[in-house]
Structure 1
């Protein structure tokens, strides 16, 4: 969405910030499926004006994280199990593509960020950060950061936007079943070899590892539903 000219660049930046903050709450289920989403209350909680929050909510509605009903209000979308198959069909095709492109195209800055995340994964393992007392929120956010860094490294903004959208939907499903799933830490730390393959420019290996990760995600979810 393009911000009005009168708003200037700062308004667009505020809308992006609001989008990231609200998206994080929706994906990690701080706002539960079916809960109302009140723009005035969220604006006050986040310290934003209502205009950037409303812009963010329009974007989140397009991404199927919220739904607006006339005269009823706006709500976090319910999670439908049937969505898992639809989301996985897309991710099974595009996650391996994104990983391979990242391995081929990532520049020094992007490889530096991927290396930083790889070190962060190793540090989390050393500290024993498994399914920790915060419900695994830190590991979930680390998982999301890894995915977003890989998508950015593809240098394809259309693919990046698409992958963020589907990763958000997939992560939301994971969070819904997190108490019944196998080790969250094991799922997140699978990214270590994937990051190393991308950093080493091994596109074939990165592609295969990404495909296996998506397949493992769907298998784990279907194992508990």
Structure 2
């Protein structure tokens, strides 16, 4: 790693050190600070986080079990890439889940929940105007979390939570593409309007289209990168 992208960790009285290190590294991978294909050097990671190599080694092993890291014999640990199959699989599932969540929200959401969705649009616009990618990803995540909660379906929330890590990795890449966050804001706004109007079918259609648009942006970006390397 050419530069330090991790900060010294803060101890948590309720969590073991190895768990804090694991969560820090996992978040760095999800947010793209540690990029796919990048080698993970134990000594350097330990120095950046201000810990010994032992919790870093344990964290890398756990990250491997969860699919975030691959171990290459005689070479070491590397951040796992995201395959096209992973991406298309996740977007297929998300398109259906988002449509379901939006439709249920149109039926069940309270005026307070709709207000929270509208407020999230304002926060999203502010981050986009500042071109703050971390803030954009965070406010985009908040919007979708609010949408899922407004569906009032606990099972749906559970399923989305299981997919959260790979969704975040894909979301960061997609929203980093030029112009995508501005388009996403408008798509979010249309979804909220449909929910506020209690138009179930329109909310479902718009939510599904929103996910398909994100998928197309993501796939076009990856195809462009592939051509550059060919």
Q: Which residue of 1 aligns with 2:161?
A: 161
Structure 1: runs of 5+ lacking an equivalent: 1-8
Aligned: 1:212 with 2:215: no
* Local SS of the residue matching 2:38: coil
Are the aligned partners of 1:118 and 1:196 in contact in 2 as well (CA < 8 Å)?
no
Q: Which residue of 1 aligns with 2:148?
A: 151
Give me the whole-angstrom Cα distance separating, in 2, the residues matched to 1:99 and 1:52: 40
Q: CA deviation at 1:213?
A: 0.7
Normalised to the residue count of structure 1, the TM-score between the two structures is 0.66
Are the aligned partners of 2:21 and 2:59 in contact in 1 as well (CA < 8 Å)?
no
Give me the whole-angstrom Cα distance separating, in 2, the residues matched to 1:48 and 1:99: 44
Are the aligned partners of 1:99 and 1:207 in contact in 2 as well (CA < 8 Å)?
yes
1:183 to 167, 172, 179: 179
Distance 1:119 1:80, change over 3 A: same
Give me the whole-angstrom Cα distance separating, in 2, the residues matched to 1:160 and 1:35: 27
Aligned: 1:221 with 2:224: no
* Local SS of the residue matching 1:10: coil
Q: Which residue of 2 aligns with 1:80?
A: 83
Distance 1:152 1:62, change over 3 A: farther
Aligned: 1:36 with 2:39: yes
Give me the whole-angstrom Cα distance separating, in 2, the residues matched to 1:35 and 1:193: 39
| Greater gyration radius | 2
Post-superposition CA distance 1:168-198 (Å, at most 9, x none): 24225426xx4xx441232331222224444
Structure 2: runs of 5+ lacking an equivalent: 1-12, 224-230
Are the aligned partners of 1:148 and 1:164 in contact in 2 as well (CA < 8 Å)?
no
Q: Superposed, which structure 2 residues align to 1:92-111 within 5 Å?
A: 92-106=95-109, 111=114
Normalised to the residue count of structure 2, the TM-score between the two structures is 0.64
Q: CA deviation at 1:24?
A: 3.6
Q: Which residue of 2 aligns with 1:10?
A: 14
* Local SS of the residue matching 1:96: helix
Distance 1:37 1:52, change over 3 A: closer
Q: Which residue of 2 aligns with 1:116?
A: 119
Are the aligned partners of 1:100 and 1:198 in contact in 2 as well (CA < 8 Å)?
yes
Are the aligned partners of 2:42 and 2:56 in contact in 1 as well (CA < 8 Å)?
no
Q: Superposed, which structure 2 residues align to 1:44-59 within 5 Å?
A: 45=48, 54=58, 58=62
Are the aligned partners of 2:124 and 2:140 in contact in 1 as well (CA < 8 Å)?
no
Distance 1:105 1:22, change over 3 A: farther
- Give aligned pairs, total: 206
Q: CA RMSD in A?
A: 4.1
Distance 1:22 1:210, change over 3 A: farther
Q: CA deviation at 1:211?
A: 0.2
